[in-house]
Structure 1
């Protein structure tokens, strides 16, 4: 499939991002955080022994989580220059990981998979439907796909600030954006202190997830929000339709921390 200019720019943006930020240690790459993405729709305990694909692997954070959860084999799909970081990070697990330097819509496997995961990726693809269809085709009957997507509901105040800001930050050079993230993190940490006493928007996320991250990972989370050329914030109906309209059955959705969607469907 021919990529649009916005797709090419987004892939390049993530290639630069994950080439610069290669470390996935601490809570950022933990089983606790994997459970937070997946539950209550799916338990990380059920990954043990499965053959899984991770679409949009970046530097390998989710791949590492899947291996730690006991996945039998992981197909790691990464189209950007981060593929070379991914390859280096997965060198010690080469027998358990197949690396594909292709976009998600070119996912092909020799044996059908039990599970396809894409966490924080599909909302950066202008037309994710071909990728979801490729995931569906790669699954065995009864296999599952899980995606985590930015949400529109619950993010109204955040989007009022961030969407205009992204028009500037998405074209900033790395050094300037990196410096901006230091300042933004200080601001968010002040907000986190206020959340301890006040019922502010995204209170659960700030206290239960963001506040548990090391300082460098907090800045990376901000960078990840402000850097890519393209990002879509899904309504609940759109999150369900993304899987339903591409061949998945029994599609369920969970609103994660009141600001995003975890969605799962059966092949």
Structure 2
């Protein structure tokens, strides 16, 4: 479908100009001069995506609903937070072009996408980036809740979407995640962040193995639907063991997580820049929200 060549990566520097980079690019300019507005790089994300692959394509298609892969067909797509490039690959198969941005893993993802000619990788901070262009579709899957300032990131997403373009966001919800917020998160901050990534992966495998007997027995009983994570564990049963290990590792490895409340999701999607007739705020398996909307023409 595409002429094969090496996917390219652009990394902004204070001295490099837009012309030299070949693409209207994010700059560390005066508008972004406050150090407090810049996110730190976190080795945890590169470590995670060097150790794991995510090949559960059905999840991506679930998370973007009511959008579909057809929504990306022949479009210019901006992916905000590409991780290891797993979703980049899915979109690149149908999109005209994908610009994939990540502060920590752009180089890693580029190395996995050399068979696609229609992908560019950008090393930039989602909270402050200014690429100097707009896109048909702007996608942020599983990333906005890990940023320093989700509100600011959502504004950046809107700014990079062209009039009539599509915004797609998937984010952890505050609702339905009490166990992770008040149980797992304190343990992560107190204990798990001190472990090496290899030891944390070992812990994640043990935890995953311990979940299997419960998830495949108790969580199959229909009249126990009131149990926390009942819907979530239905997906757990569809995934491979390694993919479930990744889910657990992700919860224990993330340097920070801001769980998105329904009130916040509604506030984001009530922007006067969005066509309110196109807006969808959809809970997903009781622990996350899929947010989809189209900008006004």
Q: In structure 1, how many angstroms separate the alpha carbons of the residues matched to 2:196 and 2:131?
A: 35
- What does 1:19-38 align with in structure 2 at a 5 Å threshold? 19-21=50-52, 23-25=53-55, 28=56, 30=57, 32-38=58-64
Aligned to 1:180: 203
Mark the runs of 5 or more structure 2 residues left unpaired by the alignment: 1-31
Query: Which deviations, in whole Å up to 9, do the C-alpha atoms of 1:66-88 show, x marking residues without a partner?
Result: 123x11111100111x2221111
Which of these two proteins has the greater Rg computed from alpha carbons? 2
Mark the runs of 5 or more structure 1 residues left unpaired by the alignment: none
Q: Kindly state the Cα deviation for residue 219 of structure 1 after the two structures are TM-superposed.
A: 0.7
Q: Cα 1:215–1:261, aligned 2, differ >3 Å: closer, same or farther?
A: same
Q: Kindly state the Cα deviation for residue 239 of structure 1 after the two structures are TM-superposed.
A: 1.6
Equivalent in 173, 185, 190 of residue 151 of structure 1: 173
Is residue 2:31 matched to residue 1:8? no
Q: Kindly state the Cα deviation for residue 181 of structure 1 after the two structures are TM-superposed.
A: 0.3
- What does 1:45-194 align with in structure 2 at a 5 Å threshold? 45-68=70-93, 70-80=94-104, 82-93=105-116, 95-104=117-126, 105-110=128-133, 112-167=134-189, 168-193=191-216, 194=218
Q: Kindly state the Cα deviation for residue 245 of structure 1 after the two structures are TM-superposed.
A: 5.2
Q: State the TM-score, normalized to the length of structure 1.
A: 0.87
Q: Cα 1:77–1:107, aligned 2, differ >3 Å: closer, same or farther?
A: farther
Q: Kindly state the Cα deviation for residue 259 of structure 1 after the two structures are TM-superposed.
A: 1.3
Query: Which deviations, in whole Å up to 9, do the C-alpha atoms of 1:130-155 show, x marking residues without a partner?
Result: 32222222221111211111111122
Q: State the TM-score, normalized to the length of structure 2.
A: 0.79
Higher helix share: 1
Q: Secondary structure at the match of 2:259?
A: coil
Q: Secondary structure at the match of 1:115?
A: strand
Query: Which deviations, in whole Å up to 9, do the C-alpha atoms of 1:153-187 show, x marking residues without a partner?
Result: 12223433212222122332112211110111012
Aligned to 1:18: 49
Is residue 2:291 matched to residue 1:263? yes
Does the 8 Å contact 2:39/2:125 carry over to 1? no
TM-align CA RMSD: 2.2
Does the 8 Å contact 1:37/1:148 carry over to 2? yes
Equivalent in 268, 278, 284 of residue 242 of structure 1: 268
Q: Provide the aligned length of Structure 1 versus Structure 2.
A: 255
Ranges of 4+ aligned residues in structure 1 off by more than 4 Å: 2-6
Does the 8 Å contact 1:120/1:150 carry over to 2? yes
